[in-house]
Structure 1
Amino acid sequence: MQEKRTQADRRAATREALLAAAREEFVEHGFAAAATEAVVRRAGVTRGALYYHFPDKAALLAAVVEAVAAEVHDAVADAASRSTSPRQALADGMRAYLDACLSADARTIYLVDGPAVLGWRRWREIDGAYSARLLREGVGETLAGESGRDADALTTLLSGACNEAALWLADAPDDTDRKRAIDLAVDDLVERLFDE
């Protein structure tokens, strides 16, 4: 016997379908050219269903940015968890962030359209709940016991470096020399900033 879905189940399924469809549309066309009509068509729902869940296209983008941020977070957390020291976890997490940002989803939605459309403050709130939070924790663990060094300042510096490096790598995602150079630069930067 087939289990009957509740109204909450149907709403959740509709929301997920909208997020998946919007993600595809944003990656293929960018936020500005993405059409809500195409999102609704891809999701197989009505326009009313779209506006029930999201008041406007920017709110839909914010939800998609958050979903991508969660995926990037998971990749970073997984890489860092396999490391043998806080310093190595920090470097491994930074490399995992850069790798995750090579995907078209992360590049287009998370690094380009997210900050441009949502504004820097809103994008930072989302990022702060995910990757930036992990980076802050990693810097804090690496600095454990040191005094006179500002973990927030170092986190901000490393976050900016990672975001710029991710965009630079995304310009040539198949360039292995560029990727190798960034991997070495991450190791060098972490080693110099957090000399044991």
Structure 2
Amino acid sequence: MAKASVSKLVPKVPVPGVPGASRRAAYSASTKRALVDVAEQLFAEKGYAATSLDAIVSGARVTKGALYHHFSGKQALFESVFERVEQEAAKRIQKSLRGQKDPWRKATEGLRAFLDVVQEPPYRRIVIQDGPAVLGYERYREQEERSTFANIVEIVRATLDAGSWDLDEDMLQTFARIFFGAMSSAGESVATAADPEAAARRVEGAIGFLLAGVQSLVEQGVAMPSTLDEDDEDGEAADPE
């Protein structure tokens, strides 16, 4: 019964010289996709702790053996769900950046896309609420950086390149990590707020104010602090006189 249900999704395209190989591969992929689809829905609605493997395999109409063929257990399945939710969020943010020539407009649109994402119930439950506890802090940060950090780097690079600062890659990455940490914290504050929309407006206002400050520094041609006194080769403090 389980196989008949999932096999309806499987295209019957044979591989020359390997009878049945394509069908088996497609069936396996469909089974895995069904498990992740159902797990994502249940994790979003009930949370990780309240979701059982029995409920997942029942919803996907497969056996537990099929689940264990693809995943070592519930945590591994959650990680696949987490990765997909984060990747989809990153794609949405990336789409908001595409075609934006003005660096400040790019930063603003990226921020708004991010704030829209963190207000959505599935993202809030799976990524913000359950993610750190289920994956552990280090693994959670690793997954988060893998999916969204590149967008932060693109935004930071665009805004800093608007100035006359000659920054090396290490300094740019330093700025990106600071901004990434601020965005992660802001996202958590929005996702866990009693009124996410109001919290998102506050975050947009606060970060918009900071961006306006950076834009003002660019327009004034203010030097980057790390470049001040760079002619003092002995490393001594510059003479105030």
TM-score by shorter chain over 0.5: yes
| 1:98 and 1:162 in contact (8 A); partners too | no
Residue 137 of structure 2 corresponds to residue 120 of structure 1: yes
CA distance in 1, matches of 2:89, 2:196: 21
- 2:209 is aligned, of 167, 184, 188, to 188
Which ranges of structure 1 fall in alignment gaps of 5 or more residues? none
Number of aligned residue pairs: give it: 195
When residues 98 and 3 of structure 1 are mapped into structure 2, their CA distance, relative to the original with a 3 A threshold, is: closer
CA distance in 2, matches of 1:30, 1:177: 24
> Would you say 1:153 and 2:184 are equivalent positions?
no
**How far apart are residue 173 of structure 1 and its match?**
6.9
Structure that is richer in helix per residue: 1
Preserved contact between residue 31 and residue 66 of structure 2 (Cα < 8 Å):
yes
SS in 1 for 2:209: helix
Letter in 2 for 1:65: F
Moved more, 179-188 or 103-112: 179-188
CA shift for structure 1 position 127: 1.7
- Quote the Cα distance in structure 1 between the aligned partners of 2:47 and 2:11: 39
Larger Rg: 2
Equivalent position SS for 2:48: helix
CA–CA distance in structure 2, aligned partners of residues 3 and 75 of structure 1: 29
Tell me what 1:33 maps to: 50
Q: 1:54 to 1:176 in 2, by over 3 A?
A: closer
Please give the root-mean-square deviation of Cα atoms over the aligned residues, in Å: 2.2
Residue 194 of structure 2 is aligned to residue 164 of structure 1:
no
1:19 shift after superposition = 0.5
2:12 to 4, 12, 21: 4
Q: TM-score by structure 1 length?
A: 0.88
TM-score, with length taken from structure 2 = 0.73
Please give the alpha-carbon distance, in whole angstroms, between the structure 2 residues aligned to 1:106 and 1:71.
10
Give the letter for the 1:99 counterpart: D
Runs of at least 5 residues in structure 2 that lack an aligned partner in the other structure: 1-9, 14-22, 219-241
Equivalent residue number for residue 87 of structure 2: 70
Indicate the percent of aligned positions where both proteins have the same amino acid. 31
**Equivalent position amino acid for 1:135 in 2:** I
